[in-house]
Structure formats: structure tokens, C-alpha cells
């Protein structure tokens, strides 16, 4: 070990750790369209990381970059964040990007950090499917809807509108306390589908569990 490498390792050992979070990633992004994500960095010592550089990489290419803001994300102690805009690839599929935090020359030396995240890139939507979920005539709010990679949540009227590409899907609806069979669908035009939710017996906290 040379004197230089020993010094480098010593410096490395004293650098504070940094960890990352990436959120508000849309369930699907249309091929070729712009979209945004939020990315934040946290110092293990809670140091202010505002104005540090953060970027998104596709392989080794930087596809988005920005500076962390001066205020932590609401609800966190010291997660400094930025909203980054990037463009989806032209071809549908799952794409893995990487967020990279550049510690630069902070007063307190920090380690750089990277974190991957995935994006579901889909064909440009052709149609709108309206899903209405009800049980015994009563609309079901906050039911989760999914058709392949597409996801949505019903509103107060039990409805959710999903823009999606033509194709064959399996409509799955989830709401705790209800049971709904998956519905196979072929989407060729705007459409609407009603889903009847069967209320399960009220959760019984004193029930016994059997294998």
C-alpha cells in the first residue's frame, strides 16, 4: 500500500454515509413521454445537503439532473430532495434508471450514493376504461384497480378512469373486506365496466386460524 492509497482509504473511512429515496414514480409512463420523479438524499449525520447535485442515469448517461432543495421533504428530518424530469424510452417495457447523489465538496465529507428505480413504460394509451365498483348498490371508494401495469384507485363515486393501450387485460379489483373475481377484458375502444364487490364477513378478531 502506498502512502497515497493509505491516505485515500483513511479519507474514505471518515466520510459520512448517505442514503437515498426515490418516489412519486407514476405506475406507468407512455413511451417517449416526459415524466418526473422525486429523489432525496439523507446524511447519516443529518447534515444539510441542499444544493448538492443529484442526477438520473440511464446506464452511464445522465438523463436528468438538478440540485437538492434547501428544505427537507415534509415529514422527514433531513431528507433533501429535488424533482427531476426525464423522458421515457420509445419502447414499452420495464426500464431501470439510477439516481446518483454527488457529495461533492461538502464541509463534512460524505460518500456518494446511488439507488436504482424502475419505470413501467407502456405504449401510448388509445382508450379510456371507466371502472365502477359497487357492492349492493353502494359505491366502493378507494378500491385498487389494476390491469397489467396500469393502476388506479376509485373515487367517492366508486369510479376510476384509466387511460390504456388497446389489448387484452385482466381487470383485478382489490379492497380489504371485499371479494371480487378478476375480469378478462379486451380493450378496443373506450369502455366502461361495472364490478360487483361481494362483502366478506366482518373481520373476526376472535376467530381462530387454521392451516
Partner 1 sequence: MSGQDFSRRSFLSKGAAGAGAVALAGAATEASAQTINWGQTADVVIIGAGVAGLPAAITARELGASVIVVEENYDIGGRGMLSGGRVQLGGGHALQQKLNIKDNPDQVFLDWVRADDAESRYSDRELVRVFADENLSAYQFLLDNGVEFIEKPIGPGIDASTVARIFVTKEWHIPAEVVAPRRNRNGSGLVRHLAASARNKGAQILLKHKMTRIVREQPTAGKVLGIEVKADGKTINIRATKGVIVATGGHTGNVEFRRMFDPRLTEEYQQACQPYVDQNASGEIAAMDIGASLWATAIQTSESGAAITKTRHIGCRWGYASLVYETDSVMFPQAKATGLTVKDWQDLIMVNQFGKRFWDEGDGSYRFFNAAMAYHGDKTKLNGGGPIWAIFDADGAAREKWNTKPPNVDPDGWFYQADTLAELAGRIKNQYQKQPMPGAALTETVARYNSFVADGVDKDFKKKTPMHKIEKPPFYAAWATPILHDTLTGLRTNTSTEVVDMRGEVIPNLYCAGESQGGFAQHGLARCLVFGRIAGRTAAKNSA
Q: Which H or E run includes 13?
A: helix 3-14
Nearer to partner 1, 118 or 130 (CB): 118
**Separation of alpha carbons 123 and 59, rounded Å:** 22
24 sits near partner 1 (criterion: CB under 8 A): yes
Do residues 182 and 172 touch, judged by C-beta distance below 8 A? yes
Among positions 60, 77, 105, 107, the unique one binding partner 1 when judged by CB under 8 A: 77
Nearer to partner 1, 18 or 159 (CB): 18
Count of beta carbons in the 10 Å neighbourhood of residue 52? 22
Count of beta carbons in the 10 Å neighbourhood of residue 182? 13
Of 6-14, 124-132, 156-164, 199-207, the segment contacting partner 1 by CB under 8 A is 199-207
Among positions 137, 156, 184, 205, the unique one binding partner 1 when judged by CB under 8 A: 205
Strand intervals (E) in the chain: 18-23, 29-30, 34-43, 53-58, 61-67, 79-87, 93-102, 113-122, 127-135, 138-139, 144-147, 150-153, 159-164, 167-174, 178-179, 183-187, 191-196, 198-199
170 grid coordinates: 385482466
Among positions 14, 60, 186, 209, the unique one binding partner 1 when judged by CB under 8 A: 209
23 sits near partner 1 (criterion: CB under 8 A): yes
120 sits near partner 1 (criterion: CB under 8 A): yes
Among positions 1, 94, 137, 189, the unique one binding partner 1 when judged by CB under 8 A: 94
93 sits near partner 1 (criterion: CB under 8 A): no
Report the interface residues with partner 1, using CB under 8 A. 17, 19-25, 27, 40, 42, 44, 72-73, 75-79, 94, 115-118, 120, 142, 144, 146, 148-149, 151, 172, 174, 176, 204-211
Amino acid at each position: 500500500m502506498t502512502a497515497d492509497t493509505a491516505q485515500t482509504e483513511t479519507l474514505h473511512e471518515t466520510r459520512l454515509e448517505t442514503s437515498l429515496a426515490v418516489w412519486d414514480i407514476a405506475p406507468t409512463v407512455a413511451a417517449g413521454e416526459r415524466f418526473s420523479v422525486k429523489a432525496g438524499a439523507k446524511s447519516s449525520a443529518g447534515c444539510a445537503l441542499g444544493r448538492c447535485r443529484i442526477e438520473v442515469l440511464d446506464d452511464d448517461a445522465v438523463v436528468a439532473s438538478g440540485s437538492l432543495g434547501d428544505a427537507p421533504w415534509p415529514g422527514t428530518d433531513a431528507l433533501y430532495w429535488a424533482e427531476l424530469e426525464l423522458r421515457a424510452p420509445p419502447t414499452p417495457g420495464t426500464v431501470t434508471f439510477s439516481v446518483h447523489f454527488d457529495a461533492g465538496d461538502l464541509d463534512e465529507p460524505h460518500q456518494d450514493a446511488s439507488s436504482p428505480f424502475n419505470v413501467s413504460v407502456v405504449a401510448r394509451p388509445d382508450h379510456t376504461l371507466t371502472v365502477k365498483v359497487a357492492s349492493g348498490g353502494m359505491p366502493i371508494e378507494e378500491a385498487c384497480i389494476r390491469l397489467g401495469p396500469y393502476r388506479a384507485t376509485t373515487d367517492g363515486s366508486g369510479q376510476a378512469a384509466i387511460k390504456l393501450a388497446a389489448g387484452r387485460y385482466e381487470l383485478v379489483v382489490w379492497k380489504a373486506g371485499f371479494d371480487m373475481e378478476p375480469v378478462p377484458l379486451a380493450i378496443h375502444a373506450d369502455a366502461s365496466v361495472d364490478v360487483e364487490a361481494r362483502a366478506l364477513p366482518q373481520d373476526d378478531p376472535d376467530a381462530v386460524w387454521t392451516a
